[in-house]
């Protein structure tokens, strides 16, 4: 590794997203969307398959994911150079990228959900990347609770939607929506889907997780929490837009929650001092604007959504990179400690300036084109009056935030010059500069991205008459609004510190709102967890009592509904079976009488062997075999545990209380016998047995039906079972190693030292000092 | 090693390979006669447990190919992969394929079923065998020196 300013070789992995980017672009230019790229049936009876479909919207997301991804992979090579966890970061980023690609191309609602939750999981692991830090872990937990929990709500909504539309394919749902749009269950489905989309895209009241997720490494913040994952909610809403765009519920909820979140997040920005958190709040605000745009009916809104999606990625990702570079070079992200960095970080400063111009929506940048389209969409859609005012506020604070990120920390005088601050190598400088340059380039030359934006807008609004992107300078009202935003934004920028200290003086604000509710809910978990130690109290006898007691109650409940089973007629058993039965009876009686735990174990082992004999003589040799082998292993393992307990002088049986145990045993035995009688009394459906017996040889080339079922007819079940066996071993192995080490330690220390626990030694020492002092 | 285990030790040295051979035989015959990967694996587990009792768990675990954890993982992986060749034929996952391998005078039937069953065998042997061996060792290490040992307790310090 080439030191702190080196570049990790893992950066070459950037070629992967870059290749995918080029590939999808070429695919698009060659044939044009929409198209199916895969169709793998899975659970057809449930309507679940892996169908991948690419239309304009999916393509825009694919290009964003792979395009920004390429730069993120390069950037991470510089940012994580020398960090021992960089391989883990790349693995997680790659996993995340594929989950995202799956999510935006999945046509099946259930497949979409699976990929959706995969992005939540990888996001959890990435937010908690610095897992030694408690703050990181808490933020990761919060992100998982909210996005993962929201995902579950989303699943309910998607299933309901699939049931209403009688299809889980998004394409066919969108095609047939006229026939099911007035279903009474639809509002419920929509609300559930809203919760899912709002949690993912950090909309009110779930907005607070995103700024906390900033404890992730900067490449992650730039990728997941600004450019891609948080836009999945937007993607889903855009994906469903063709069906619901005319619904009042859709419009009202999206416009008010989106517009409200946009303004609220911008207000909360003013309370922050951390550059990354400031950018995070402005991301929440941008997501709010996107949600609002999807709610606004009309062609202009769809175009504006697509354009703003691109514009935001092109300025926010570089700004996050800039924040990362500043952090990397100076070791802080607090804007109070940062000033006059431009001479030391000239390329970063240039990237910040370019991205800031686009974020502020200055003419000749792509941000301006998007802003222009948003203004047109609002006039076209006739939205509420308050949206206009809040938009002005949002634009103004955007200008101020752009000023803070691009001007204040780089060009502001004051603050001492930080020594030794310099650029961190090409991998840290190139990505922000390149993306920010694109954000400027598309401003005067919007026709470069025109087909892409058009295709994306058409995917969201099938009957759209695409006007094409325009330079936008001819509309006077837009320029007027921009001038107002710049003027107010400049004021906010100038008075940023004073505004901040004013808001800082209102700490009671923290006690309200969903973030505080989340904190209280998490704080309540330990109280609820107090039940656990009562059930899991470490006493094997108590566990057995709970298990047997529960089984007795469940069996009694199950049997109470059946009629009294008839006693089956007597059939003379063969001598072998009778012998085995006699063995079981003798062993059982012995179990009841014997007190020594080893003899007890052997006697109960004998019961098991007797059962195996019965299986053998009744024509189930496989079962008998298995029973023999399991019984042997069981006895050996339990004997070892009993030996250990005996050496520790612990009585495994605990205090002897005869009657409760006898009662539990008799009740359990009686109910088990009752269950057997009920089962034997009912009619025996031999359809499955006959099917397997008939098909085993012709279909599976095997005469041993039991084995054929295990390895062929039900092979996937078996695979699951051996996976469980292996995983349980993986889980048990460290515990056993710990137990062995504990057992070993006193053995190693025992010969010389007097018997004393370390705790007692410490007490002795403390007592001695105290005594010495007293003297 | 306490003296009383010597007979067991010698006995186990001879029995272990026999039991493993039996377990393999049970595994291979499983498709047509009673047996199969799970039962064969359990017999191998019993063999491992026996070695662990007689000669210690470290010996028992060393005697397992790849070691218990990797053996279990390899088993699951093998079973997982055994379902894949079906895709080459355009069939659903885990559709087993059969073929026969001519060996001059005789023919041997080979199939993805066998691969799958070997995977089950390895997973069961690795996971449960490792578990048995390690649980058995709970007794052996902590035992002789620590705890209320009547011989040790009387010794002067």
Interval A651-696: pLDDT, tens: 655 556 778 888 888 999 888 888 888 887 777 778 888 888 888 7
Tokens 């595994």 found at: B27
Model confidence band, residue A78 (pLDDT cutoffs 50, 70, 90): confident
Q: Indicate if A232 and A254 belong to the same structural domain.
A: no
pLDDT at residue B4 greater than cutoff 70: no
Domain around B106? 3-142
Number of domains in chain A: 4
Tell me if residue A108 falls in helix, strand or coil: strand
Q: From the list A711, A716, A729, which residue is nearest B127 (CB)? A: A729
Instruction: Determine, yes or no, domain membership for A125.
Output: yes
pLDDT at B145: 38
Interval A206-258: pLDDT, tens: 888 888 888 888 888 888 888 888 999 999 999 999 888 888 899 999 999 99
Q: Does A710 touch chain B (CB under 8 A)?
A: yes
pLDDT at A124: 92
Q: Indicate if A451 and A476 belong to the same structural domain.
A: yes
Instruction: Determine, yes or no, domain membership for A552.
Output: yes
Instruction: Determine, yes or no, domain membership for B107.
Output: yes
**CB distance A90 to A447 below 8 Å:** no
**CB distance A333 to A367 below 8 Å:** no
Half-sphere exposure of residue A391: CA atoms within 13 angstroms, side-chain side: 24
**CB distance A86 to A207 below 8 Å:** no
Instruction: Determine, yes or no, domain membership for B127.
Output: yes
Instruction: Determine, yes or no, domain membership for B78.
Output: yes
Q: Does A743 touch chain B (CB under 8 A)?
A: yes
**CB distance A723 to A733 below 8 Å:** no
Instruction: Determine, yes or no, domain membership for A744.
Output: no
Q: Indicate if A675 and A693 belong to the same structural domain.
A: no
Number of domains in chain B: 1
Q: Indicate if A518 and A633 belong to the same structural domain.
A: no
The verdict on whether omega for the bond into residue A34 sits within 30 degrees of 0, i.e. cis, is yes
- Residues in chain A with CB shorter than 8 Å from the CB of B30 are 704, 707, 711
How many angstroms separate the CA atoms of A165 and A179, rounded?
8
Query: In the structure encoding, which two tokens stand for residue A731, read together?
Result: 């889980």
Best of A43, A638, A643, A715 to disrupt the B interface (most B CBs within 10 Å) is A715
Instruction: Determine, yes or no, domain membership for A765.
Output: no
Best of B15, B30, B73, B114 to disrupt the A interface (most A CBs within 10 Å) is B30
Check residue B101 and report its DSSP letter.
E
Domain around A317? 247-523
pLDDT at residue B139 greater than cutoff 70: no
Question: Chain B neighbours among A 309-348 (CB < 8 Å)?
Answer: none
Tell me if residue A283 falls in helix, strand or coil: helix
How many angstroms separate the CA atoms of A226 and A93, rounded?
14
Lowest mean pLDDT among A121-130, A302-311, A612-621, B108-117: B108-117
Q: Indicate if A189 and A71 belong to the same structural domain.
A: yes
**CB distance B122 to A624 below 8 Å:** no
How many angstroms separate the CA atoms of A451 and A25, rounded?
12
Instruction: Determine, yes or no, domain membership for B150.
Output: no
pLDDT at B144: 40
CA angle B5, B9, B14 (to 5 degrees): 155
Segment of A72-81, A108-117, A750-759, B52-61 carrying the highest mean pLDDT = A108-117
How many angstroms separate the CA atoms of A224 and A51, rounded?
24
Cβ contact, residue pair A725, B134, below 8 Å: no
Q: Indicate if A645 and A658 belong to the same structural domain.
A: yes
Cβ contact, residue pair B138, A641, below 8 Å: yes
Cβ contact, residue pair A708, B31, below 8 Å: yes
Cβ contact, residue pair A740, B138, below 8 Å: yes
Q: Which of A465, A497, A523 is the last residue in one of the domains? A: A523
Instruction: Determine, yes or no, domain membership for B155.
Output: no
Question: Shortest Cα distance from A720 to chain B (angstroms)?
Answer: 9
Cβ contact, residue pair B34, A644, below 8 Å: no
Q: Indicate if A599 and A612 belong to the same structural domain.
A: yes
Instruction: Determine, yes or no, domain membership for B25.
Output: yes
Question: Shortest Cα distance from B104 to chain A (angstroms)?
Answer: 23
Q: Which residue of A has its CA nearest to B29?
A: A704
Q: Indicate if A505 and A374 belong to the same structural domain.
A: yes
Cβ contact, residue pair B39, A626, below 8 Å: yes
- Residues in chain A with CB shorter than 8 Å from the CB of B98 are 701
Percent of chain A having pLDDT more than 90?
21
Query: In the structure encoding, which two tokens stand for residue A271, read together?
Result: 């309370």
How is chain A split among helix, strand and coil, in percent rounded to 5?
A: 75, 5, 20
Q: From the list B26, B45, B73, which residue is nearest A633 (CB)? A: B45
Q: Which of A197, A213, A244 is the last residue in one of the domains? A: A244
Query: pTM for the full model?
Result: 0.72
Q: Indicate if A508 and A635 belong to the same structural domain.
A: no
Instruction: Determine, yes or no, domain membership for A559.
Output: yes
pLDDT at B121: 94
The complex's ipTM works out to 0.84
Cβ contact, residue pair A626, B94, below 8 Å: no
> Which positions ≥6 away from A642 have C-beta within 8 Å?
A597, A598, A601, A652
Interval A434-449: pLDDT, tens: 999 988 888 888 778 8
Interval B67-120: pLDDT, tens: 899 999 999 999 999 888 888 777 778 788 777 766 666 666 778 888 899 999
Cβ contact, residue pair B116, A703, below 8 Å: no
Q: Which residue of B has its CA nearest to A706?
A: B34
Query: In the structure encoding, which two tokens stand for residue A405, read together?
Result: 């990120």
Strand partners, A274: A334
Note the residue count of chain A: 775
Question: Shortest Cα distance from A640 to chain B (angstroms)?
Answer: 5
Cβ contact, residue pair A736, B135, below 8 Å: yes
Q: Does A636 touch chain B (CB under 8 A)?
A: yes
Q: Which is higher by pLDDT, A294 or A751?
A: A294
Cβ contact, residue pair B45, A629, below 8 Å: yes
pLDDT at A496: 81
Instruction: Determine, yes or no, domain membership for B148.
Output: no
């Amino acid at each position: 590794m080439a030191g702190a300013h080196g570049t990790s070789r893992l950066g070459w992995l950037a070629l992967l997203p870059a290749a995918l980017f080029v590939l999808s672009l070429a695919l698009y230019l060659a044939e044009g969307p929409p198209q199916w790229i895969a169709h793998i049936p899975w659970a057809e009876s449930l309507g679940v398959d892996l169908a991948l479909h690419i239309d304009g919207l999916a393509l825009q997301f694919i290009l964003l994911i792979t395009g920004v991804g390429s730069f993120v992979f390069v950037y991470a090579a510089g940012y994580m150079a020398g960090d021992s966890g960089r391989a883990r970061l790349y693995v997680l980023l790659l996993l995340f990228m594929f989950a995202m690609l799956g999510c935006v191309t999945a046509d099946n609602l259930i497949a979409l959900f699976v990929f959706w939750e995969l992005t939540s999981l990888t996001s959890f692991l990435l937010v908690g990347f610095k897992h030694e830090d408690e703050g990181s872990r808490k933020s990761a937990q919060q992100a998982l609770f909210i996005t993962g929990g929201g995902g579950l709500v989303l699943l309910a909504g998607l299933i309901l939607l699939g049931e209403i539309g009688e299809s889980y394919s998004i394409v066919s749902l969108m095609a047939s929506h006229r026939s099911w749009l007035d279903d009474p269950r639809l509002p419920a489905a929509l609300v559930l889907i809203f919760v899912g989309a709002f949690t993912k895209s950090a909309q009110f009241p779930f907005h607070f997780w995103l700024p906390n997720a900033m404890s992730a490494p900067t490449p992650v913040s730039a990728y997941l929490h600004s450019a891609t994952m948080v836009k999945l909610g937007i993607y889903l809403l855009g994906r469903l837009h063709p069906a619901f765009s005319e619904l009042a519920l859709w419009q009202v909820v999206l416009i008010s929650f989106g517009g409200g979140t946009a303004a609220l997040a911008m207000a909360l920005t003013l309370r922050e001092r951390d550059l990354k958190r400031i950018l995070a709040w402005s991301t929440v605000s941008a997501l709010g604007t996107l949600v609002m745009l999807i709610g606004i009916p009309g062609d202009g809104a769809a175009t504006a959504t697509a354009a703003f999606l691109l514009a935001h990625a092109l300025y926010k990702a570089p700004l996050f990179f800039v924040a990362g570079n500043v952090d990397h070079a100076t070791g802080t992200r607090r804007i109070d400690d940062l000033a006059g960095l431009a001479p030391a970080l000239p390329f970063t400063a240039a990237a910040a300036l370019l991205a800031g111009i686009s974020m502020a929506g200055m003419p000749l940048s792509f941000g301006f084109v998007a802003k222009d389209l948003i203004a047109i969409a609002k006039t076209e859609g006739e939205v509420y009056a308050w949206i206009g005012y809040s938009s002005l506020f949002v634009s103004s604070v955007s200008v101020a935030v752009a000023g803070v990120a691009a001007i204040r920390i780089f060009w502001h005088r004051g603050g001492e010059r930080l020594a030794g601050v310099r650029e961190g190598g090409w991998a840290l400088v190139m990505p922000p500069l390149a993306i920010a340059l694109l954000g400027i380039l598309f401003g005067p030359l919007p026709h470069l991205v025109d087909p892409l934006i058009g295709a994306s807008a058409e995917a969201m609004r099938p009957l759209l008459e695409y006007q094409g992107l325009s330079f936008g300078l001819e509309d006077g009202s837009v320029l007027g609004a921009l001038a107002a935003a710049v003027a107010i934004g400049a004021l906010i920028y100038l008075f940023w510190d004073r505004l901040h200290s004013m808001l800082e003086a209102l700490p009671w604000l923290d006690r309200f709102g969903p973030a505080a509710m989340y904190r209280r809910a998490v704080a309540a978990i330990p109280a609820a967890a107090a039940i656990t130690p009562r059930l899991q109290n470490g006493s094997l006898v108590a566990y057995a009592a709970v298990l047997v007691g529960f089984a007795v109650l469940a069996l009694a409940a199950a049997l109470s509904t059946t009629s009294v089973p008839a006693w089956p007629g007597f059939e003379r058993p063969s001598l072998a079976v009778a012998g085995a039965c006699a063995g079981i009876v003798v062993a059982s009686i012995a179990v009841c009488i014997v007190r020594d735990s080893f003899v007890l174990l052997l006697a109960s082992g004998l019961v098991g062997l007797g059962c195996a004999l019965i299986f053998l003589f009744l024509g189930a040799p496989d079962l008998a075999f298995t029973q023999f082998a399991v019984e042997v292993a069981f006895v050996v393992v339990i004997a070892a545990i009993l030996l250990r307990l005996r050496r520790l002088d612990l009585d495994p049986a605990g205090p002897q209380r005869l009657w409760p145990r006898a009662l539990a045993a008799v009740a359990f035995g009686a109910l088990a016998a009752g269950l057997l009688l009920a089962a034997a009394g009912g009619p025996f459906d031999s359809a499955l047995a006959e099917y397997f017996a008939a098909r085993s040889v012709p279909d599976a080339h095997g005469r041993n039906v039991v084995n054929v079922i295990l390895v062929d007819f039900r092979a996937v079940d078996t695979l699951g079972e051996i996976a469980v066996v292996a995983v349980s071993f993986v889980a048990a192995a460290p515990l056993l190693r710990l137990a062995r080490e504990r057992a070993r330690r006193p053995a190693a220390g025992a010969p010389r030292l007097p018997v004393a626990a370390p705790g007692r030694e410490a007490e002795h020492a403390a007592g001695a000092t105290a005594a010495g002092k007293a003297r | 090693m306490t003296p009383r285990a010597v007979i067991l030790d010698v006995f186990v040295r001879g029995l272990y390979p026999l039991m493993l051979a039996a377990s393999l035989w049970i595994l291979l015959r499983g498709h047509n006669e009673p047996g199969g990967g799970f039962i064969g694996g359990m017999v191998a587990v019993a063999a491992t447990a026996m070695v662990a009792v007689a000669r210690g768990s470290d010996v028992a675990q060393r005697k397992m190919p790849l070691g218990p954890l990797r053996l279990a993982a390899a088993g699951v992986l093998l079973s997982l992969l055994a379902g894949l060749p079906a895709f080459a034929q355009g069939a659903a996952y885990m559709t087993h394929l059969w073929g026969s391998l001519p060996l001059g005078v005789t023919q041997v039937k080979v199939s993805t079923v066998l691969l799958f069953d070997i995977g089950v065998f390895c997973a069961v042997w690795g996971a449960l065998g490792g578990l048995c061996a390690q649980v058995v060792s709970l007794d052996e290490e902590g035992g002789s020196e620590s705890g209320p040992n009547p011989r040790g307790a009387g010794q002067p310090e």
